[in-house]
A and B are shown apart, each in its own frame.
Chain A
Amino acid sequence: KAGVTQTPRYLIKTRGQQVTLSCSPISGHRSVSWYQQTPGQGLQFLFEYFSETQRNKGNFPGRFSGRQFSNSRSEMNVSTLELGDSALYLCASSSGRDTGELFFGEGSRLTVL
Protein backbone atom coordinates (compact mmCIF):
# COMPACT_ATOMS: atom_id res chain seq x y z
CA LYS A 1 0.00 0.00 0.00
CA ALA A 2 1.56 3.30 -1.05
CA GLY A 3 2.16 5.78 1.74
CA VAL A 4 1.44 9.49 1.94
CA THR A 5 3.23 11.38 -0.80
CA GLN A 6 4.16 15.02 -0.49
CA THR A 7 5.56 17.21 -3.23
CA PRO A 8 7.82 19.02 -3.54
CA ARG A 9 10.16 17.72 -0.87
CA TYR A 10 12.29 20.85 -0.78
CA LEU A 11 11.74 24.35 -2.01
CA ILE A 12 13.18 27.80 -1.59
CA LYS A 13 11.14 30.96 -1.94
CA THR A 14 11.64 34.63 -1.21
CA ARG A 15 9.58 36.87 1.03
CA GLY A 16 6.34 38.00 -0.52
CA GLN A 17 6.01 35.04 -2.86
CA GLN A 18 3.37 32.38 -2.52
CA VAL A 19 3.76 28.60 -2.43
CA THR A 20 1.55 25.58 -3.03
CA LEU A 21 2.29 22.19 -1.47
CA SER A 22 0.65 18.97 -2.50
CA CYS A 23 -0.31 15.84 -0.60
CA SER A 24 -1.60 12.52 -1.89
CA PRO A 25 -3.08 10.46 0.94
CA ILE A 26 -3.13 6.71 1.31
CA SER A 27 -5.64 5.15 -1.04
CA GLY A 28 -9.06 5.01 0.58
CA HIS A 29 -8.30 7.66 3.18
CA ARG A 30 -10.68 10.60 3.11
CA SER A 31 -9.09 12.83 5.71
CA VAL A 32 -6.00 14.93 5.12
CA SER A 33 -4.52 17.18 7.77
CA TRP A 34 -1.58 19.56 7.65
CA TYR A 35 0.95 20.39 10.32
CA GLN A 36 3.76 22.93 10.46
CA GLN A 37 6.96 21.93 12.25
CA THR A 38 9.53 24.52 13.31
CA PRO A 39 12.36 24.35 15.85
CA GLY A 40 10.79 27.11 17.93
CA GLN A 41 7.09 26.27 17.90
CA GLY A 42 7.29 22.53 17.32
CA LEU A 43 4.44 20.74 15.59
CA GLN A 44 1.34 22.85 15.08
CA PHE A 45 -1.94 21.87 13.50
CA LEU A 46 -2.91 23.91 10.46
CA PHE A 47 -6.16 22.38 9.20
CA GLU A 48 -7.95 19.17 8.31
CA TYR A 49 -10.02 18.32 5.27
CA PHE A 50 -12.51 15.50 5.08
CA SER A 51 -14.47 14.73 1.94
CA GLU A 52 -13.50 18.08 0.40
CA THR A 53 -14.68 20.11 3.42
CA GLN A 54 -12.53 21.79 6.03
CA ARG A 55 -13.40 19.98 9.23
CA ASN A 56 -10.99 21.63 11.63
CA LYS A 57 -8.69 24.62 11.68
CA GLY A 58 -5.74 25.69 13.79
CA ASN A 59 -4.65 29.17 14.81
CA PHE A 60 -2.88 30.36 11.71
CA PRO A 61 -3.44 33.57 9.75
CA GLY A 62 -5.55 33.65 6.63
CA ARG A 63 -2.42 33.51 4.48
CA PHE A 64 -2.51 29.79 5.08
CA SER A 65 -5.23 28.04 3.14
CA GLY A 66 -5.97 24.62 1.79
CA ARG A 67 -8.32 22.56 -0.24
CA GLN A 68 -9.12 18.97 -0.97
CA PHE A 69 -10.13 17.45 -4.26
CA SER A 70 -12.65 14.73 -5.00
CA ASN A 71 -9.86 12.14 -5.14
CA SER A 72 -8.85 13.18 -1.57
CA ARG A 73 -5.61 14.78 -2.72
CA SER A 74 -4.99 18.02 -0.89
CA GLU A 75 -3.07 21.20 -1.45
CA MET A 76 -2.09 23.90 0.95
CA ASN A 77 -1.16 27.40 -0.06
CA VAL A 78 0.77 30.07 1.76
CA SER A 79 0.56 33.56 0.32
CA THR A 80 2.81 36.56 0.98
CA LEU A 81 5.53 34.42 2.49
CA GLU A 82 7.37 35.62 5.58
CA LEU A 83 10.72 34.46 6.93
CA GLY A 84 8.90 32.77 9.81
CA ASP A 85 7.07 30.50 7.40
CA SER A 86 10.27 28.53 6.90
CA ALA A 87 9.35 25.10 8.22
CA LEU A 88 8.74 21.46 7.51
CA TYR A 89 5.12 21.07 6.40
CA LEU A 90 3.76 17.63 7.15
CA CYS A 91 0.68 16.11 5.67
CA ALA A 92 -1.15 13.26 7.37
CA SER A 93 -3.91 11.05 6.12
CA SER A 94 -6.42 8.92 7.93
CA SER A 95 -9.68 7.15 7.29
CA GLY A 96 -11.41 10.09 8.92
CA ARG A 97 -13.37 7.78 11.19
CA ASP A 98 -10.74 7.33 13.85
CA THR A 99 -9.17 10.00 16.00
CA GLY A 100 -5.47 10.56 15.87
CA GLU A 101 -4.12 7.46 14.17
CA LEU A 102 -2.47 9.46 11.45
CA PHE A 103 -0.18 8.38 8.66
CA PHE A 104 2.34 11.07 7.85
CA GLY A 105 4.30 11.91 4.75
CA GLU A 106 7.96 12.88 4.83
CA GLY A 107 7.09 16.54 4.54
CA SER A 108 7.88 19.50 2.34
CA ARG A 109 10.72 21.61 3.64
CA LEU A 110 10.15 25.26 2.81
CA THR A 111 12.90 27.83 3.16
CA VAL A 112 11.95 31.49 2.84
CA LEU A 113 14.80 33.89 2.10
Chain B
Amino acid sequence: AQKVTQAQTEISVVEKEDVTLDCVYETRDTTYYLFWYKQPPSGELVFLIRRNSFDEQNEISGRYSWNFQKSTSSFNFTITASQVVDSAVYFCALSLYTGANSKLTFGKGITLSVRP
Protein backbone atom coordinates (compact mmCIF):
# COMPACT_ATOMS: atom_id res chain seq x y z
CA ALA B 1 0.00 0.00 0.00
CA GLN B 2 1.11 3.52 -0.63
CA LYS B 3 0.87 6.47 1.69
CA VAL B 4 1.63 10.17 1.37
CA THR B 5 2.04 12.33 4.46
CA GLN B 6 1.89 16.09 4.45
CA ALA B 7 2.47 16.88 8.11
CA GLN B 8 1.92 20.61 7.73
CA THR B 9 -1.77 21.41 7.44
CA GLU B 10 -1.72 25.20 7.23
CA ILE B 11 1.07 27.66 6.53
CA SER B 12 0.77 31.43 6.54
CA VAL B 13 3.53 33.68 5.21
CA VAL B 14 3.94 37.27 4.20
CA GLU B 15 4.44 38.05 0.55
CA LYS B 16 8.03 37.69 -0.68
CA GLU B 17 8.90 35.12 1.98
CA ASP B 18 10.20 31.74 0.87
CA VAL B 19 8.14 28.75 1.95
CA THR B 20 8.78 25.01 1.85
CA LEU B 21 5.99 22.44 1.74
CA ASP B 22 6.99 19.03 3.03
CA CYS B 23 5.97 15.66 1.61
CA VAL B 24 6.94 12.21 2.86
CA TYR B 25 5.82 9.07 1.08
CA GLU B 26 5.72 5.35 1.70
CA THR B 27 5.69 2.61 -0.89
CA ARG B 28 7.13 -0.88 -1.23
CA ASP B 29 7.49 -0.40 -4.95
CA THR B 30 10.88 0.51 -6.33
CA THR B 31 9.47 2.38 -9.30
CA TYR B 32 6.89 5.08 -8.87
CA TYR B 33 5.96 8.65 -9.77
CA LEU B 34 5.65 11.61 -7.43
CA PHE B 35 3.54 14.69 -8.11
CA TRP B 36 2.57 18.06 -6.78
CA TYR B 37 -0.82 19.57 -7.55
CA LYS B 38 -2.26 22.96 -6.61
CA GLN B 39 -5.93 23.52 -5.79
CA PRO B 40 -7.04 27.16 -5.94
CA PRO B 41 -10.38 28.23 -4.45
CA SER B 42 -12.16 27.46 -7.73
CA GLY B 43 -11.70 23.75 -6.97
CA GLU B 44 -9.88 22.24 -9.92
CA LEU B 45 -6.48 20.68 -9.24
CA VAL B 46 -3.66 22.04 -11.34
CA PHE B 47 -0.70 19.82 -12.21
CA LEU B 48 2.66 21.31 -11.17
CA ILE B 49 5.28 18.59 -11.53
CA ARG B 50 5.91 14.87 -11.95
CA ARG B 51 9.12 13.04 -11.02
CA ASN B 52 9.89 9.37 -11.49
CA SER B 53 11.74 7.35 -8.89
CA PHE B 54 14.77 6.97 -11.15
CA ASP B 55 15.47 10.65 -11.26
CA GLU B 56 16.57 12.33 -8.05
CA GLN B 57 17.68 15.53 -9.71
CA ASN B 58 16.24 18.62 -8.14
CA GLU B 59 14.18 20.79 -10.42
CA ILE B 60 13.62 24.52 -10.62
CA SER B 61 10.88 26.22 -12.57
CA GLY B 62 10.74 29.95 -12.06
CA ARG B 63 9.94 30.58 -8.40
CA TYR B 64 9.21 26.89 -7.79
CA SER B 65 11.74 24.24 -6.90
CA TRP B 66 11.48 20.62 -5.86
CA ASN B 67 13.85 18.52 -3.76
CA PHE B 68 13.49 14.75 -4.20
CA GLN B 69 15.43 12.59 -1.74
CA LYS B 70 14.90 8.84 -2.00
CA SER B 71 16.99 8.22 1.12
CA THR B 72 14.44 10.04 3.26
CA SER B 73 11.40 9.30 1.05
CA SER B 74 10.73 12.99 0.71
CA PHE B 75 9.67 15.24 -2.13
CA ASN B 76 9.60 18.80 -0.83
CA PHE B 77 8.37 21.84 -2.70
CA THR B 78 9.76 25.36 -2.21
CA ILE B 79 8.19 28.58 -3.40
CA THR B 80 10.67 31.44 -3.51
CA ALA B 81 9.48 35.01 -3.04
CA SER B 82 5.88 33.96 -2.47
CA GLN B 83 3.04 35.95 -3.94
CA VAL B 84 -0.61 36.34 -2.96
CA VAL B 85 -1.59 34.33 -6.04
CA ASP B 86 0.25 31.34 -4.57
CA SER B 87 -2.46 31.03 -1.92
CA ALA B 88 -4.05 27.63 -2.47
CA VAL B 89 -4.09 24.07 -1.17
CA TYR B 90 -1.09 22.05 -2.32
CA PHE B 91 -1.19 18.29 -2.66
CA CYS B 92 1.63 15.81 -2.97
CA ALA B 93 0.73 12.52 -4.65
CA LEU B 94 2.20 9.14 -5.55
CA SER B 95 1.46 6.69 -8.35
CA LEU B 96 2.76 3.31 -9.38
CA TYR B 97 4.99 3.17 -12.43
CA THR B 98 3.04 0.34 -14.02
CA GLY B 99 1.90 1.62 -17.38
CA ALA B 100 -0.25 4.65 -17.91
CA ASN B 101 -2.75 5.07 -15.12
CA SER B 102 -4.59 7.80 -13.31
CA LYS B 103 -4.69 6.23 -9.85
CA LEU B 104 -2.94 8.67 -7.56
CA THR B 105 -2.60 8.46 -3.81
CA PHE B 106 -2.82 11.98 -2.43
CA GLY B 107 -1.67 13.49 0.83
CA LYS B 108 -4.16 15.49 2.88
CA GLY B 109 -2.92 18.78 1.46
CA ILE B 110 -1.33 21.94 2.86
CA THR B 111 -3.28 25.20 2.87
CA LEU B 112 -0.92 28.02 2.04
CA SER B 113 -1.98 31.59 2.75
CA VAL B 114 0.22 34.38 1.46
CA ARG B 115 -0.60 37.75 3.04
CA PRO B 116 0.20 41.03 1.30
Contact = CB atoms under 8 A, between A and B. Distances in A.
Interface of A: 3-4, 31, 33, 42-45, 48, 55-56, 58, 88, 90, 92, 94, 96-107
Contacts of B109: 42-43
Contact of B104 (A31, A100, A106): A100
B44 A100 contact: no
B93 A100 contact: yes
A56 B47 CA distance: 20
Contacts of B42: 106
Q: Which of A58, A104, A105 neighbours the largest number of chain B CB atoms within 10 Å of its CB?
A: A104
Contact of B103 (A56, A88, A98, A103): A56
Interface stretch (B16-24, B55-63, B78-86, B94-102): B94-102
B47 A103 contact: yes
A101 B43 CA distance: 17
B54 to A, nearest CB: 13
Q: Mostly helix, strand, loop or mixed at chain B's interface?
A: loop
B14 interface: no
Contacts of A96: 100
Contacts of B100: 31, 94, 96-99
B102 A56 contact: yes
Interface residues of B, number: 24
The 3 closest A-B pairs by CB, nearest first: A33-B102, A43-B106, A104-B45
A98 B104 CA distance: 13
B9 to A, nearest CB: 11
A52 to B, nearest CB: 15
Interface in B24-46: 33, 35, 42-46
Contacts of B44: 3-4, 90, 104-107
Contact of B45 (A48, A92, A99): A92
B108 interface: yes
Contacts of A94: 100, 102
A48 B43 contact: no
A42 B108 contact: yes
B46 A48 contact: no
20 contacts: A31-B102, A33-B102, A42-B106, A42-B108, A43-B109, A45-B105, A56-B103, A58-B103, A90-B43, A90-B45, A96-B100, A97-B100, A99-B50, A99-B95, A99-B102, A100-B93, A102-B45, A103-B47, A104-B44, A105-B44
